[in-house]
Amino acid sequence: MPVEEVQSWYLAACSLLICTAYFFSVLAARVGELSFVAPFRYTGLLWALFFGFLVYGEWPTHLALAGAGLVVAAGLYTMWREAKTKKK
C-alpha cells in the first residue's frame, strides 16, 4: 500500500523531531551526570507508544512490549547497581 501525502508529511515531521531530540539527548549526556540523564532517555519509549497510537492508530505487539520492558528493566538494574557501587 503506497504512503499517502499526509502520512509522508507526518513521517518527515517525526524524523525531524527525533533527530532534534537525539541531538539534545547527546548534548545532555555530555554536559550532565549520566545517572541523572539516563532515566529521561527511557521516556522515549513511552512517547513512541503514545504518538504511535495517537498519530497512526497502531499499538505494538506483546513481543515488542516485552522487548521494551526488557530494555527498561536492564537500564534500571544498571542504574541501581551503579548507585550501589558508588555508596561503597
pLDDT tens, residue by residue, 30-76 = 888 777 777 777 788 888 889 899 988 999 999 999 998 898 888 88
| Confidence (pLDDT) at 62 | 95
Quote the cell numbers at residue 84.
Answer: 550501589
Residue 33 backbone phi and psi in degrees, to 5: -70, 125
How would residue 8 be classed by pLDDT, with cut points 50, 70 and 90? very high
Distance CA 51, CA 59 (A): 10
Q: What is the identity of the amino acid at 74?
A: A
